[in-house]
Amino acid sequence: MPSREGTAPGATGKWLAIVGIGEDGAEGLSPVARQLVAKAEFVFGGRRHLDLGRELICGEARPWPVPFDSAMTDIVRLRGRRVCVLASGDPFHFGVGATLARHVDADEMQVVPAPSAFSLAASRLGWALQEVETVSLHGRPVELILPLLHPGRRIIALTSDGDGPKAVAALLAREGFGTSRIHVLEALGGRREWSGTFLAEAMGDASFNPLNVVAIEVSASEDARVLPLSASLPDAAFEHDGQITKREIRALTLSALAPRRGEMLWDIGAGSGSIAIAWMLAHSSMRAIAVEAVPERAERLCRNSRALGVPDLRIVEGMAPAALGGLPAPDAIFIGGGGSDAGVADAAIAALDPGGRLIANAVTLEMEAVLLRLHARLGGDLTRIALSRAAPIGGMTGWRPAIPVTQWRWVKP
């Protein structure tokens, strides 16, 4: 028989309670949750959460400091005392629970979640939550919603404040999704709960309760800018000065990079950022750092990242390899095709852990010579990519070859 040893909820050693609380306040809490709040020596939370639980709090109420301390210093100092944290809904769904878990082991916590805003919104609308895209725009750029805008899909988004629905509606209208229906749901689960439905292009200057979520039924016009679920964004989607990895080469490069969820990419000599942006669009957990030496290109890269729905792309302005110092460790590295500094490749190789991937493209003879030497020294795969596009020739059509690309792929042993 397998062992069933473990720690029961509420057992000794669990000094930190995390209690999800809704807009119905204390009356919506379970007996276990009410007891955890009442017996705590210290109760932390936002001022709204502390007000919602006021009738149960017997210990010292401590609102979160401003600015918010993500190191949770005050709570960690109280380890071993009876501490309770009040949080919105499900503390581990875009909530403070994940922050606390970085500093307190799970076996020291007792967590009692309440329904999340996503669950409440889906239940009000009759939507199957597993079929809905969910995203938090709370304190984050509204452009994060762009990759989710596919016709016929449904999205539920947390917003930051009463202007959040208007910002979402304006973005939808600007990008060709103005006929999408937006449901605004305010103060879900409380006495002030309210909901209304608007067309994105007709929301106007309506005002809303600061505590709201928006639920979107996506509808696209013929000219809507739909971001595909692949590396096949057209080149015209990027603002660039010619320094761009073209669509077909980009697709082959992303295939060689073989992105996996949660990984970090260094895009060295990023140009327009097409590789880093395509990497991040592959999944919401992907992270990337784009290194670009030319200030004008770095500014353009920033505009591209926001316009194409990955505003969290980190941009480092500087010349490699010096600019690589101190950056978070990469899982994969891409080196663009115009350079010829062998020192950049050597720095990239040193930065990778075993199993890390390095992809380098060459369009110049000088860079190709660097790749040939690296291949001779380290092995890996060397590929020659030649593309031709149909183009007018006189009154007929013929093939115009693009500049060939030499690509080196290497996995660190």
- Each residue's pLDDT tens digit, 335-344: 987 666 778 9
- Domains of the chain with bracketed CATH: 16-114 (3.40.1010.10), 118-217 (3.30.950.10), 235-411 (3.40.50.150)
Tokens found for residue 293: 């030496």
Which of 158, 176, 185 lies closest to 218, judged by CA? 176
pLDDT at 229: 86
- Return the bridge partners of 122, or none: none
pLDDT at 12: 56
Is residue 130 within 8 A of residue 178, CB to CB? The reply is no
Rg (CA), the chain: 26
pLDDT at 8: 47
pTM, two decimals, is 0.88
Which of 255, 404, 283, 270 lies closest to 334, judged by CA? 270
Tell me which residue has tokens 């316009």. 307
Question: Is residue 366 classed exposed, middle or buried when 0-12, 13-18 and 19+ CB atoms within 10 A define those classes?
Answer: exposed
For the cut 70, the answer to whether the pLDDT of residue 397 exceeds it is: yes
Question: Residue 167 belongs to what H/E stretch?
Answer: helix 164-174
Torsion of CA 206, 208, 213, 219, to 10 degrees: -10
Tokens found for residue 252: 């082959």
b/e map 292-315, b = 16+ CB within 10 Å: bbbeebbebbbebbbbbbbbbbeb
- Return the bridge partners of 19, or none: 86, 112
Tokens found for residue 147: 């990759």
Mean pLDDT across the chain? 94
Q: Which parts of 159-296 are beta strand (E)?
A: 181-186, 194-199, 212-217, 264-268, 287-292
Is residue 34 within 8 A of residue 56, CB to CB? The reply is yes
Euclidean distance between CA atoms 377 and 202, whole angstroms? 62
Note the pLDDT tens digit of each residue in 162-219.
999 999 999 999 999 999 999 999 999 999 999 999 999 999 888 899 999 999 999 9
Query: ∠ CA 267-274-339 to the nearest 5 degrees?
Result: 50
The dihedral through the CA atoms of 202, 204, 208, 214 has a sign that is: positive
Euclidean distance between CA atoms 357 and 350, whole angstroms? 12
Note the pLDDT tens digit of each residue in 272-324.
999 999 999 999 999 999 999 999 999 999 999 999 999 999 999 999 999 99
Note the pLDDT tens digit of each residue in 85-132.
999 999 999 999 999 999 999 999 999 999 999 999 999 999 999 999
Euclidean distance between CA atoms 292 and 320, whole angstroms? 8
Note the pLDDT tens digit of each residue in 231-284.
779 999 999 998 889 999 999 999 999 999 999 999 999 999 999 999 999 999
Tell me which residue has tokens 């101190």. 326
Is residue 178 within 8 A of residue 199, CB to CB? The reply is yes
> DSSP states of 22-43 as a string?
-TTGGGGS-HHHHHHHHH-SEE
Q: Kindly state the DSSP code that residue 248 receives in the 8-state scheme.
A: H
